[in-house]
Amino acid sequence: MSGNTDKHIMRRALKLALKGRGHVSPNPRVGAVITAPDGTIIGEGCHTHFGGLHAEAAALKACDGKDTRGATIYVNLEPCCFQGKTPPCTTAIIKSGIRRVVAAVPDPDPRVNGRGFAALREAGVRVEVGVLADEARHLNRGYFSARERGRAWCAVKVALSLDGKMAALDGESKWITGPEARKLTHALRADHDAVMVGAGTVRHDNPQLTVRSVRGPSPARIILAPHFGIPPDSKLAESAAQIRTILVTTETADPPGADDKTIELLRMKENKFGMIDPEELLSRLVDFGIQSLLIEGGSRVLSSFMQADLIDEISVGYAPSVIGQGISPFEDFNPVSWSGRPRFRIARIKHYGEDVVITYNRVT
Which of 56, 78, 296, 313 is an active site residue? 56
Selected range binding Zn ion among 73-81, 190-198, 289-297, 317-325, rule: CB under 5 A: 73-81
CB of 61 to ligand AOF, least distance (A): 12
Q: Is 54 in the site for Zn ion (CB under 5 A)?
A: yes
Contacts 24+ apart (CB under 8 A), 143-150: 143/25, 143/26, 143/27, 143/28, 143/29, 143/108, 143/291, 144/108, 145/291, 145/292, 145/312, 146/26, 146/286, 146/291, 147/108, 147/109, 148/108, 150/283, 150/286
Q: Is 81 in the site for ligand AOF (CB under 6 A)?
A: no
Residue from 85, 126, 227, 345 in contact with ligand AOF (CB under 6 A): 85
Selected range binding Zn ion among 75-83, 105-113, 190-198, 231-239, rule: CB under 5 A: 75-83
CB of 46 to Zn ion, least distance (A): 12
Clarify whether 238 is annotated catalytic.
no
Task: State the burial class of residue 29 (Cβ atoms within 10 Å of its Cβ: 0-12, 13-18, 19+).
Answer: buried
Task: State the burial class of residue 180 (Cβ atoms within 10 Å of its Cβ: 0-12, 13-18, 19+).
Answer: middle
Tell me whether residue 112 or residue 236 sits nearer to ligand AOF (CB atom): 112
Q: Is 14 in contact with 132 (CB distance < 8 Å)?
A: yes
CB of 80 to ligand AOF, least distance (A): 4
CB of 191 to ligand AOF, least distance (A): 18
Q: Is 106 in the site for ligand AOF (CB under 6 A)?
A: no
**How far does the chain reach from its first CA to its final CA, in angstroms?**
35
Active site residues: 56
Contact positions toward ligand AOF, by CB under 6 A?
24, 27-28, 30, 47, 54-56, 77, 80, 84-86, 89, 107, 109, 112
